[in-house]
Amino acid sequence: MAPAIHSSADARRIAKRRLPWMVFDYIDGAAGAETGADRNRSAFDALTLRPRILRDVSQRDLSSTVFGRKTKAPFGISPMGMCNLSGPGADLMLARLAAREEVPLGVSTVSSTPLEDIIEEAQGHAWFQLYFSGDGTETFKLVERAKAAGYETLVLTVDVPEVGRRPRELRHGFTMPFRIGPWQFLDFALHPRWSITSLLAGKPDMANFRMDGFSFDRKASRAKADWDTLKQLREAWKGNLVVKGVLDPEDAGRLKSEGVDAIQVSSHGARQLESAPAPISVLPAIREAVGPDYPLFFDTGLRSGEDVVKAYMQGADFAFFGRVLQFAIAAGGEEGLEQLWSVLTSETSITLAQIGATEMPRAG
């Protein structure tokens, strides 16, 4: 039986106790001294919502529409690498949740379950997230695989020209694939619940590269990607193209003019550039740059339903939760994930009632 989860903070607290230090710090950590992560939280906390009274808010609708497809919830699931570190089968738990809630699930290039298996379990409610690497040869092979698997939306992550330095990872010697030395062995031994269930299920790895001709170095440079790369991708991919990791209004305007179908405002959970602005603080300027009708998605720093409503009021059309869902899995498996999703949905609905709204708000 999963422990009771009443907030994302509960999920994180329990996950911290259950996960090996190395795994927890990989999921939880941010770049540098992690002031960027603190800034993201402070920016959300500084935003207030205006309570309204005596409005009939007894019937509230949390649904949204993304690329013409209706969702049951106003938020989806961000692409996250190596989710099975949080618990065996985590990728497929997220896929089943996406199918049930009819929300998009971001499937990472470095997922620990093959991209074909995830979209099948998600009943089509999956987007493939793409990292450009090397000279792009293997990148475009993955594009063809995603197309063959039935993906209709591709998410190009552009905020990792070089992988940010995350000291918590480095101190633990975190690498993918795993290298288990004396320190890691001790860490796993002191967390037997995780070690027994996770390692006996098979050492997690980057499943999309288990085939001849494919390799991936998580820390390899991706610095060669440029606007010509985007043009090539746009020509190769006829489905929906989202660019994720945008924090500059000028960049956003150019992406729109280059034929990108949507932009995801994100700082990669503050895991890349410690000094980057809080995404929620630049969201209004990006909305102004792309106009009122252009699809604008948001992730980074979301911890509650109130945060989701704040993101919509700052200009987002849809939002995505990330690491808190992994913490819920680590805390209580699939039951824990469902508990936290219910909490986030309930928080969002209650927030709408408090501000006198019956549906998700729009900026302005």
The catalytic residue positions are: 268
DSSP 275: T
- The 3-state DSSP class for residue 265 equals strand
CA distance 145 to 78: 20
Q: How many CB atoms lie within 10 A of CB 352?
A: 24
Report the DSSP pairing between strands 75-77 and 69-71.
unpaired
Each residue of 267-296: b (16+ CB within 10 Å) or e?
bbbbbbbbebbbbbbbbebbbebbeeebbb
**Cα 207 to chain center, whole Å?**
18
- Tell which residue, 101, 93, 96, has the closest CA to residue 76: 101
Q: Which residues, 6+ apart, have CB-to-CB distance to 110 below 8 Å?
A: 81, 82, 131, 176, 206, 208, 216, 218
Q: How far is CA 1 from CA 97, 311, 335, 338, 341, in A?
A: 19, 34, 8, 13, 17
- Residue keyed to tokens 């309930």: 346
Neighbours of 350 (CB within 10 A): 14
Q: Is 218 exposed, middle or buried (0-12, 13-18, 19+ CB in 10 A)?
A: middle
Write out the E strands in the chain.
Answer: 64-66, 69-71, 75-77, 105-107, 126-130, 153-157, 240-246, 262-265, 296-298, 318-321
Name the burial class of residue 2, with classes exposed (0-12), middle (13-18) and buried (19+) by CB atoms within 10 angstroms of its CB: middle
